[in-house]
């Protein structure tokens, strides 16, 4: 069977660097499993190429596919629908299959509203999608395929499927399916110096933060690849010339013993990489961070969320502002060069004073290199989404196709405009401190890694201007 897998763009005229920079890892896994099953696969990352739909359509038609799979996140869902409609009208015999986060939680509505979408694969797609492609090939019935949603007359049928238990059983993602080079990204600026790729060493997250859909998507089951399998894949990508790795696990820091084994094998195999990872602040001990820095970790992106205990409790984060402060100090002492803190403001319980408290808290965080501050958005699969429905604060039938700023949904004490104004004002205050600028300049002059990243940005013409443009796009205000 000929299968084309599409990572949709966001449908904006302007390219979203954050979307374009990282490889669509999920599609690489699907592609590898299908190829192992003897199928012919093409991956089109339109998040990167940003082809207008008519040209994207030409590309798809050239492949003459039997099946077209589209992986939609909530921000890219509407564009996914436009792409699917166009593909179906031009290639009516091709089966259109949706997957990834947004369709997993809205499959019934999708199949009822969009007749040009034939199937939805819920959750982790490797096994379900392979069985579906095999069934389409053999003409066999699809009813028995767990994790698949399909139409039967006017109704939508589906049976759940548990997340994949034995991750070592999956083939390594085939990066040769990608047509471009990738690089990590921070606010529109390139965040990596060498040849960059991503790796997944575990799946799922045991925590249940109310603003995150991962708990529902992975049934709160975290599963690990064996350290031997992880490092064997690192060996392979090392031989393919990659120098930098973004670890895209939801939560890389949960299991210390397992991490230790990975670090030991990296050292024993003399693998030289620069790493980027994400994680919680309460899982990262100084001792573990030291070992991680020792095998090349350069950037850690922590989910810090807030400087207000009230808001952290509202989010069911089970952390404290002091843990946020401590992890920055521990990371610095451990030799982690770059620490990014991700914050969310605009929770319905939040007052202007609470937002101010978080912004003042960030300003007081000695050693943080960059805070990424997002307004709280809700989308299907999150506990907060279900709360908004249960509370009668939104009509799902009108709202399910995109994410929404929580302040515009729940009864709130501040407005979106007030919060966006405070964020925008904060960034210039944060960056334009002479002490911060001098500190960052000295760090950069002393860091071979940072200098390489700087040169890469200058080489790619990523000017401060385009970074600020991305910034104002996100937070409004006068363009640079």
Q: How far is the CB of 189 from ligand B12 (least distance, A)?
A: 13
List CB contacts of 202: < 8 A, sequence separation 6 or more: 167, 222, 223, 224, 225, 249, 250, 251, 252, 254, 255
Query: How far apart (Å, rounded) are the C-alpha atoms in residues 420 and 204?
Result: 31
Considering only 4, 213, 407, 420, the residue that binds ligand B12 (CB under 6 A) is 213
Considering only 124, 233, 305, 369, the residue that binds ligand B12 (CB under 6 A) is 124
Q: Is residue 373 close enough to count as binding ligand B12 by CB under 6 A?
A: no
Considering only 66, 118, 126, 131, the residue that binds ligand B12 (CB under 6 A) is 126
Considering only 32, 283, 379, 466, the residue that binds ligand B12 (CB under 6 A) is 379
Which of 112, 121, 144 has the alpha carbon at shortest distance from 5? 121
Q: Contact region for ligand B12 (CB under 6 A) — 350-358, 374-382, 441-449, 451-459?
A: 374-382
Q: Which is nearer to ligand B12, 26 or 348 (CB)?
A: 26
For the chain, the straight-line distance linking the first and the last C-alpha, in angstroms and rounded, comes to 49
Query: How far apart (Å, rounded) are the C-alpha atoms in residues 423 and 24?
Result: 29
Q: Is residue 248 close enough to count as binding ligand B12 by CB under 6 A?
A: yes
Considering only 226, 255, 285, 374, the residue that binds ligand B12 (CB under 6 A) is 374
Instruction: Write the interaction track for ligand B12 spanning residues 173-202; mark x where CB under 6 A is met and - where it is not.
Output: ---------------------------x--
Token code pair at residue 241 = 């010339």
Considering only 32, 76, 202, 319, the residue that binds ligand B12 (CB under 6 A) is 76
- What is the helix (H) or strand (E) element at residue 239, kind and residue range? helix 227-239
Q: Is residue 299 close enough to count as binding ligand B12 by CB under 6 A?
A: no
Q: Contact region for ligand B12 (CB under 6 A) — 117-125, 148-156, 405-413, 455-463?
A: 117-125
Q: Contact region for ligand B12 (CB under 6 A) — 92-100, 227-235, 409-417, 451-459?
A: 92-100
Which of 33, 35, 57 has the alpha carbon at shortest distance from 121? 33
Token code pair at residue 110 = 């999708």
Give whole-number Cα distances, 340 to 131, 186, 246, 262, 362, in Å: 40, 9, 14, 23, 11
Q: Is residue 212 close enough to count as binding ligand B12 by CB under 6 A?
A: yes
Q: Contact region for ligand B12 (CB under 6 A) — 208-216, 284-292, 334-342, 391-399?
A: 208-216
Q: Which is nearer to ligand B12, 359 or 382 (CB)?
A: 382
Considering only 4, 11, 15, 24, the residue that binds ligand B12 (CB under 6 A) is 24
Q: Is residue 131 close enough to count as binding ligand B12 by CB under 6 A?
A: no
Q: Is residue 338 close enough to count as binding ligand B12 by CB under 6 A?
A: no
- Parallel, antiparallel, or unpaired for β 185-186 and 189-190? antiparallel
Token code pair at residue 198 = 């991503």
What sign for the dihedral angle of Cα 247, 253, 257, 263? positive
- What is the helix (H) or strand (E) element at residue 95, kind and residue range? strand 95-99
Q: Is residue 369 close enough to count as binding ligand B12 by CB under 6 A?
A: no
φ, ψ for residue 369, nearest 5 deg:
-90, -35
Q: Which is nearer to ligand B12, 121 or 336 (CB)?
A: 121
Considering only 4, 11, 15, 19, the residue that binds ligand B12 (CB under 6 A) is 19
Q: How far is the CB of 296 from ligand B12 (least distance, A)?
A: 19
CB 56 within 8 A of CB 46: yes
- What is the helix (H) or strand (E) element at residue 393, kind and residue range? none
Considering only 41, 60, 73, 362, the residue that binds ligand B12 (CB under 6 A) is 73
φ, ψ for residue 266, nearest 5 deg:
-60, -45
Q: Contact region for ligand B12 (CB under 6 A) — 152-160, 343-351, 373-381, 416-424?
A: 373-381
Considering only 18, 32, 283, 470, the residue that binds ligand B12 (CB under 6 A) is 18
Q: 52-55 long-range contacts, Cβ below 8 Å, gap at least 24?
A: 53/82, 53/83, 53/86, 54/86
List CB contacts of 433: < 8 A, sequence separation 6 or more: none
Considering only 11, 31, 69, 321, the residue that binds ligand B12 (CB under 6 A) is 69
Which of 311, 306, 331 has the alpha carbon at shortest distance from 321? 306
Q: Is residue 44 close enough to count as binding ligand B12 by CB under 6 A?
A: no
Q: Is residue 97 close enough to count as binding ligand B12 by CB under 6 A?
A: yes
Which of 201, 385, 225, 185 has the alpha carbon at shortest distance from 279? 201
Where do contacts with ligand B12 occur on this chain (CB under 6 A)?
10, 16, 18-19, 22, 24-27, 29-30, 47, 69-71, 73-76, 97, 99-102, 121, 124-126, 129, 200, 212-214, 248, 250, 374, 379, 381
């Amino acid at each position: 069977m000929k299968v084309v897998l599409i990572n949709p763009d966001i449908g904006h005229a302007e390219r979203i660097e954050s979307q374009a920079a990282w490889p669509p890892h999920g599609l690489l896994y699907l592609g590898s499993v299908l190829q192992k099953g003897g199928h012919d696969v093409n991956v089109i990352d339109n998040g990167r190429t940003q082809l207008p739909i008519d040209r994207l359509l030409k590309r798809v038609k050239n492949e003459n596919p039997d099946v077209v799979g589209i992986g939609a996140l909530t921000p890219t869902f509407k564009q996914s629908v436009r792409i699917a409609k166009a593909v179906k009208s031009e290639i009516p015999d091709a089966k259109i299959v949706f997957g990834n986060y947004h369709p997993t939680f809205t499959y019934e509505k999708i199949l009822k509203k969009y007749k040009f979408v034939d199937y939805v694969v819920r959750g982790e797609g490797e096994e379900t999608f392979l069985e579906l492609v095999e069934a389409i090939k053999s003409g066999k019935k699809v009813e028995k395929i767990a994790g698949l949603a399909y139409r039967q007359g006017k109704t939508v049928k589906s049976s759940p499927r548990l997340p994949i238990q034995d991750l070592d059983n999956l083939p390594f993602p085939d990066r040769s399916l990608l047509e471009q080079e990738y690089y990590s990204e921070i606010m529109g600026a390139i965040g990596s110096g060498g040849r960059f790729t991503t790796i997944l060493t575990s799946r799922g997250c045991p925590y249940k933060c109310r603003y995150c859909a991962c708990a529902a998507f992975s049934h709160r089951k975290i599963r690990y690849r064996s350290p031997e399998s992880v490092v064997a894949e690192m060996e392979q990508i090392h031989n393919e010339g990659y120098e930098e790795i973004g670890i895209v696990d939801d939560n890389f820091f949960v299991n210390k013993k397992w991490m230790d084994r990975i670090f030991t094998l990296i050292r024993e195999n003399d693998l030289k990489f620069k790493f980027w990872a994400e994680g919680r602040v309460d899982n990262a001990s100084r001792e573990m961070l030291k070992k991680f820095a020792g095998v090349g970790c350069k950037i850690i992106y922590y989910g810090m969320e807030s400087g207000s205990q009230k808001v952290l409790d509202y989010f069911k984060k089970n952390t404290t502002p002091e843990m946020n402060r401590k992890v920055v100090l521990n990371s610095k002492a451990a030799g982690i060069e770059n620490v990014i803190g991700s914050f969310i403001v605009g929770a319905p319980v939040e007052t202007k004073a609470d937002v101010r408290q978080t912004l003042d808290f960030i300003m007081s965080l000695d050693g943080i290199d960059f805070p990424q501050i997002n307004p709280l958005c809700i989308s299907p699969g999150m506990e907060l989404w279900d709360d908004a429905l249960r509370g009668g604060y939104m009509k799902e039938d009108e709202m399910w196709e995109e994410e929404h700023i929580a302040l515009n949904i729940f009864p709130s004490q501040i407005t979106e405009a007030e919060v966006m104004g405070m964020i925008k004002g904060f960034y210039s205050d944060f960056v334009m401190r002479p002490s911060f600028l001098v500190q960052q300049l000295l760090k950069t002059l002393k860091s071979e890694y940072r200098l390489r990243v700087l040169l890469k940005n200058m080489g790619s013409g990523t000017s401060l201007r385009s970074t600020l443009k991305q910034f104002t796009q996100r937070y409004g205000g006068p363009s640079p």
